[in-house]
Structure 1
């Protein structure tokens, strides 16, 4: 039992001595490294030598895309690696100390900034410690919430794909003093966004020359390519708009006497206006490109507006006094000819033809009517001409009937005002023949004539 306690005591003592020795070695290493170190001096062995900085990033999340202000907000971890000539040591001289950590304000670090930053502070990174290895390799991984300017192309909204650039570079060092090497972006730990799907984050290195200096200024640009998810906008914007647009067709199905044709058209027009205002609140106020959905709304509103105008014209003619002025010739041509042909509609009595048989007999009186039936010589006796002349001596004559159908054939000519009313004669069929009902009507008219003659006597 005593031997077990003794071994346990030796193990604890050895661990305590090791920790204390490591703490002492670390303290000595910090003192030796920082004794003659200047964080303002570029850490290279030769001042004419360019310091290479490897730069990359890890995209964690797309937090927001503000289309109105054209600002992209992302959660990014930066990755900066470089070699510090003055922060090297021999691992054997400091046992148990493979690396050390320095606050970022105690040693030199590259002044890499986001050029197209939209943040008020401009530098939105959280300043973390810098990890330094015995070989002098420095690793700086600051996280941050970056707000960057991004041109939002809303032409194909909501089926659009946006490309937002994140341009990083040194603010004061040129290419002869600091050279940037791009590291591929890491998206393995990306957190999905509810509105946008991440397509990729390709990167490239560019060098720009300015008028002030001869040396190039390198920069690394990462492009965040994202595609909008259309389910939300399809259910809440597109489908209701299409359904409301189809309601405009119902305006022409309502009867004119219902009194709701204008109300329905105005309601559809106002509903489309509300949806267009919702789209205008989302889209940026730019004239570079007009969203496709805005063009659809505008076109639909124009069509609905024209349907309301057409409804007003239809109601005006529907409630027009028939005893008033005659229909203008241009209106007759447009509505009764062109529109009827386009809509594949036939006017009542369109197949009727004007007969050459006109009764030139003078009218006797306004209190009597005469139906004069005569056989037209121009149609081989198949036209029944009934002239409206007067009612003093009402009579009619029966003409040739169809041998096949046994009904009265001919052409009925009536005078209403100054126009003749003509019925076509059938040629070998009963379509143009007077049916038995018409013969009964003529018999009744004959009876009325006889009664009128008796009353006159």
Structure 2
């Protein structure tokens, strides 16, 4: 009796072992993937056509390569994970020795035609795996690695303290929102944290956040999932090589008021400062795109400094003109005082007696002594323009200092962010 039981047990074990098949080929045959099946390729994988296919996306940022202000583009290195469900490709792992995952060529299955609306990169920069990972519950998964160049409307009003928001809009080319919906696979905080950890290169930028609009928007009756990449520029280099030198040139122009007007160095110094600011303006033109709608604050800052120095040059020119006018008036007065005496001496030279000659000599000595006693003081008529110069120069210097102080304060409040020194 025990022998029959043993034989029955062996037969049952053999039948169970025969039922279990541990080969991938058997699983492919079970899923009808061993031969060509056009239905799995061309048809949306749902049993009821009214069922909406849900495609979930994740994007990880591995590098911020370049932000081009001229062409308004953002070049980044991204990994994109796409997940969806196929209702026809499911199996029981127990029947296939615990096989829970299978890799098959993409050409054999339906793949959602999801594209990035802002994509402006070369097709050769995209690396797509030719395989798709299939899970036992029908979940399908593909990965894409791409050097993505996307269009981005850059707001350069606060350059170089600017923060940019660049959108990556995913949508299907052929399926509308009634047949295909796009959702995120993971939360925004998780995507941001992983991207910050995996970020290899940032350049002059810092990643702030990667946020997704779960519901997306409706455009051409298609569902759109928008990932917003928020980045901030590192402004320190621009502050050191551009903003600070212009401020120093403004302070040098302010210090030039202490140079004596009688010397010709003041005018040349101010013109040199003005030319230096002009060179920096040319450098700024190469960095920023030409725009008339929103003039960046850095352009307003440079134009303001240029205008202040320009008015300072005009003031110096006016002072030089008044000083030259004062010198000409002094020479004319001196010539008028000396000419009649010389003419009288030439006319009456022959008629002079010794007594008259002594009187003339005595008068000249007295006049010379009076001039020496006065310390060579100039007649009031000769110093009238000099007085005007001193008054105008003093008033303009006070106004100039106040204007510079107000200008720098307003620019600092409107331009420099509060967290710059943190």
2:274 to 264, 269, 272: 269
- 1:127/1:301 CA distance change after superposition, 3 Å: same
* 3-state SS of 2:217 partner: strand
The higher relative CO (CA closer than 8 Å, separation ≥ 6) is in 2
Equivalent residue number for residue 161 of structure 1: 163
Mapping for residues 43-442 of structure 1, pairs under 5 Å:
43-121=45-123, 124-183=126-185, 184-185=187-188, 186-187=191-192, 188=194, 189-191=197-199, 193-204=202-213, 205-208=215-218, 210=220, 216-320=221-325, 322-324=327-329
> Cα offset for 1:39?
1.0
> Going by fraction, where is helix more abundant, 1 or 2?
2
Under a length normalisation based on structure 1, what TM-score does the superposition of the two structures give? 0.62
Whole-Å separation in 1 of the counterparts to 2:303 and 2:164: 24
Under a length normalisation based on structure 2, what TM-score does the superposition of the two structures give? 0.67
> Cα offset for 1:219?
0.8
* 8 Å Cα contact 2:125/2:147 also seen in 1: no
* 3-state SS of 1:175 partner: coil
> Cα offset for 1:286?
2.1
* 8 Å Cα contact 1:128/1:142 also seen in 2: no
Equivalent residue number for residue 28 of structure 1: 26
> Cα offset for 1:56?
2.1
> Cα offset for 1:417?
9.9
> Cα offset for 1:38?
3.1
> Cα offset for 1:129?
2.3
Whole-Å separation in 2 of the counterparts to 1:128 and 1:195: 35
* 8 Å Cα contact 1:114/1:123 also seen in 2: no
* 3-state SS of 2:95 partner: coil
* 8 Å Cα contact 2:77/2:148 also seen in 1: yes
Whole-Å separation in 2 of the counterparts to 1:44 and 1:94: 24
Whole-Å separation in 2 of the counterparts to 1:418 and 1:73: 73
Equivalent residue number for residue 344 of structure 2: none
Whole-Å separation in 2 of the counterparts to 1:170 and 1:196: 31
* 3-state SS of 1:152 partner: coil
> Cα offset for 1:239?
1.3
* 8 Å Cα contact 1:113/1:170 also seen in 2: yes
* 8 Å Cα contact 2:55/2:83 also seen in 1: yes
RMSD, matched Cα: 3.1
> Cα offset for 1:68?
1.5
- 1:227/1:138 CA distance change after superposition, 3 Å: same
- 1:314/1:234 CA distance change after superposition, 3 Å: same
Look at both structures and tell me which one has the larger radius of gyration over its CA atoms: 1
- 1:133/1:323 CA distance change after superposition, 3 Å: closer
Whole-Å separation in 2 of the counterparts to 1:255 and 1:38: 90
Whole-Å separation in 2 of the counterparts to 1:102 and 1:255: 86
Whole-Å separation in 2 of the counterparts to 1:139 and 1:323: 92
* 3-state SS of 2:128 partner: coil
> Cα offset for 1:29?
2.1
1:93-120: per-residue Cα shift (whole Å, max 9, x none)?
3224221112323211111110111224
* 8 Å Cα contact 2:65/2:203 also seen in 1: no
> Cα offset for 1:323?
5.0
